[in-house]
Chains A and B, each alone.
Chain A
Amino acid sequence: MTEGEMTEGEMTEGEMTEGGSSGGSSSDPIPVGTLAPFSQGLGWVGPNAARGRDVALQSINEELVLGREVEINEQDTETTPQAAVSGFTTLDQAGVVAMLGPSSSVIPNLFQPISDAGLPTLSVSAGTIQMNDVGGPDAYLWRTVPSDSIAGRAQGQYALDQGFESMAVSYKDDKGSQSFSASVADYFTGQGGSQVADVPLAIETDSYRSEVQEIVDSEPDVISMTAGTEVSALFMQNYIEAGADIPLFLGNDVLTPDFIERVGADVMAESPVFGQAPAPGPAFDQFEQRHRDLHGEAPGTFGAAGYDAMNLIALAAVRGGAADRETITQNINPVARPDGTEVSTFADGKSELEAGNEINYQGASNPQDFNEFGDPVGPFAVLEVSDASWAELTTFSADELTT
């Protein structure tokens, strides 16, 4: 048990209900930050995650955390490290007690500031391999999405399972996409496959026709292409135009109904296109329904991760009996501990904690079982397009992907 964690016996009745918190008086709302890209290149990530977070928040503010509501302070990273650091400073000075954190492209710039501020941060979208050995209570850092290296293994292993021996790797030229592609290529070549092309995709360009041709000319058995919606849609168009009948793996950012609709359901279904994503967590179905009820639409990518992060922060405060940074930091892992009673909503978790039981939060995006570096480890599904939606082809268990 990490120093500062509270056991069942240590939680007094008073701590389990109200009081004992910092971050304001006992009646003030608890300030929680959200630092995410709401504009520029990854401007779609923030809104998706915030909608998921708000689903959790609705329940949290009905049930209350230590008798208090949670109030969100939202800052935009603008997908740039400079704006991210600025936004982080704003949240830190505003006294938020925890934070839903940003994406791969900026989070490495925040490792030190997060640690210096002692501000518990749960990234809802950073898959970067730079976080593989950074995180956990000592670093005040977690993520509710799996590492790219786990996702890369799923993609690479499926390719190997299909008998593909050579792979062309292409990626949007930013840190997040590079990280994912490197994970795929490392695993694929490490298991005996060969990489025959490495083609970065410029972010601001009007055509990837020549890049697709370069890939086709390298005669790969399979293509791995990682990028966000804009780049992927244009790449898909050029890939289809090129008549390249080469299996294509897409990154998990575009495994959405919107992307299928944008490219065309028929075209996507006819093309040998695959994707891989964390297999939905145990709580996904109820989360999806509540998301539809609240927002009138299905959750987008990272929505479930935002939901899980918000629930974990609130449950950590309830378990610790205080809404301050240190208490939340020391109680994130304990509320997702496998030997606790499984719960998938804040209300159930709060109820169990108040009854003196330990809990194991089962998330909507994945089971949220953290390793020592604050990374969740869970199963991954390989998907293909069928009937205008992403359908599961096969699933790799967490053990298969981590051994």
Chain B
Amino acid sequence: MVLDPQFIWNGIVVGSIISVSALGLTLIFGILNFINIAYGDYMATGAYLAFALNAQIGLPLGVAIVAGVAGMAAGAVLIDKLVFEHFRTSSPVTLLIVSIGVAFFIRNLIRAIWGPTGNFYDVPIEANPNLFGVRYSVEQLSIIVASLLLLTAVYVLLRRTRIGIAMRAASDDRTLTRIRGVDTERLVLYVWIAGGAIAGLGGIMLGLDAQIRPNMGFTALIPIFAATILGGIGDPKGAVAGGFAIGILQEVSVVVVPSEYKFAVALAALIVGLLLRPDGLFGEATR
């Protein structure tokens, strides 16, 4: 059986979206040490903000994307101030449960404002150009380029800047980092800004590639979590590698497995990965 290269391309596109989204999730986990179930709904919020500006108000898509990303960054900080800050010293399980409540609230707020049905950005639906048997769209190319730029930027941030180094230090040991004089509350603020912006961008990418619907982020959480854990939760480069692995596996799997089991393939990959590499792909789990 010859594998159609279109499936690989589709996998790269989906993998780009999962990687970007997993990166934001793992950054938040690294500093705040809890799994934010509302993260998928942050993605949906970013997508809907951009949708409102683009398809409803009529702003150019580029402007809407920037505003959607910025809006979700501000929104993540606002939610932290309103909700999560009050549970800063609570256990990760408590925070996880709180985040479930936040997730339900956001999702239903979206439904109340924009309705339950799916929507599309104001981009033309047309046949994609064909290159060597692979059909690609401008949106897909943009998604891949944007994800590579973002992943590089985050890598540079974490490796080459004082804030990034402080983030990595806090990710290893937040108490020790504070003792060493780092303002960890400020770091938390930066992480929410970065995590919210990345979530917003991930949601917009998802909306561009597919459609915008209230539970789009929630359903995307399964492969995003799988990528995050496969890569070693808290490890940014692991999340990126995990994202591409899950994305490509999911899309290629439809050749041999009925497509309704795509998510099961992601979970199977996660189980196999954990059995073979229990500390994550790069052996730096739960840093």
Contacts and interface: CB of A to CB of B under 8 A. Distances in A.
B259 A200 contact: yes
A210 B251 contact: yes
Contacts of B210: 205-207, 234
A240 B259 contact: no
Given A201-B259, A204-B219, A213 B125 contact: no
A213 B209 contact: no
B253 to A, nearest CB: 9
Interface in A33-85: 43-44
Interface in A198-226: 199-211, 213-214, 217
A243 B260 CA distance: 23
Given A240-B127, A242-B127, A199 B211 contact: no
B211 A242 contact: no
Interface string B1-13: 0001011001000
Given A207-B209, A263-B125, A237 B120 contact: yes
Contact of A206 (B125, B127, B219): B219
Interface in A203-261: 203-211, 213-214, 217, 229-230, 233-234, 236-237, 240-243
Contacts of A206: 206, 209-211, 216, 219-220
Contacts of A173: 260
A359 B68 CA distance: 61
A217 B216 CA distance: 28
Contacts, number: 87
A14 interface: no
B254 A214 contact: yes
Contacts of B6: 210, 213
Contact of B262 (A205, A213, A229): A205
Given A229-B117, A267-B126, A202 B262 contact: yes
Contact of B10 (A207, A217, A233): A207
A241 B208 CA distance: 13
B254 A210 contact: yes
Given A206-B209, A213-B6, A243 B262 contact: no
A208 B210 CA distance: 8
B211 A233 contact: yes
B255 interface: yes
A264 interface: yes
Given A206-B219, A207-B209, A237 B125 contact: yes
Contact of A242 (B128, B213, B254): B128
Interface string B211-233: 10101100110000000000000
Interface residues of B, number: 34
A43 B211 CA distance: 19
B68 to A, nearest CB: 17
B125 A267 contact: yes
Contacts of A210: 6-7, 10, 251-252, 254, 259
A236 B120 CA distance: 12
B14 interface: yes
A229 to B, nearest CB: 7
A51 to B, nearest CB: 17
B211 A214 contact: no
B90 interface: no
Contacts of B130: 243
Nearest to B216: A206
Given A210-B259, A217-B4, A240 B251 contact: no
Contact of B125 (A202, A208, A214, A241): A241
Given A206-B206, A229-B117, A200 B258 contact: yes
Most B-side CB within 10 Å, residue of A199, A236, A241, A242: A241
A84 to B, nearest CB: 19
A233 B216 CA distance: 15
A199 B4 CA distance: 17
Contact of A213 (B10, B127, B137): B10
B118 A233 contact: yes
Contacts of B263: 202
Contacts of B125: 236-237, 240-241, 263-264, 267
Contacts of A202: 259-260, 262-263
A328 to B, nearest CB: 35
B258 A213 contact: no
A205 B255 CA distance: 17
Interface in A116-173: 173
Interface string B122-143: 0001111010000101000000
B43 to A, nearest CB: 11
Given A241-B125, A241-B126, A214 B259 contact: yes
A226 to B, nearest CB: 15
Interface of A: 43-44, 173, 199-211, 213-214, 217, 229-230, 233-234, 236-237, 240-243, 263-264, 267
Interface of B: 4, 6-7, 10, 14, 116-118, 120, 125-128, 130, 135, 137, 206, 209-211, 213, 215-216, 219-220, 251-252, 254-255, 258-260, 262-263
29 contacts: A199-B258, A200-B259, A200-B260, A201-B259, A202-B262, A205-B210, A205-B262, A206-B206, A206-B209, A206-B210, A206-B219, A207-B10, A207-B209, A208-B259, A210-B6, A210-B251, A210-B252, A213-B10, A214-B254, A233-B120, A233-B211, A236-B125, A237-B120, A240-B126, A240-B127, A241-B125, A241-B128, A243-B130, A267-B126
Instruction: Give 3 closest A-B pairs by Cβ, nearest first.
Output: A243-B127, A206-B210, A202-B260
Given A199-B259, A240-B125, A241-B127, 19 more contacts: A199-B258, A201-B259, A202-B260, A206-B211, A206-B220, A209-B251, A210-B10, A210-B252, A210-B254, A211-B259, A213-B4, A214-B255, A230-B211, A233-B120, A237-B211, A240-B126, A241-B126, A242-B128, A243-B130
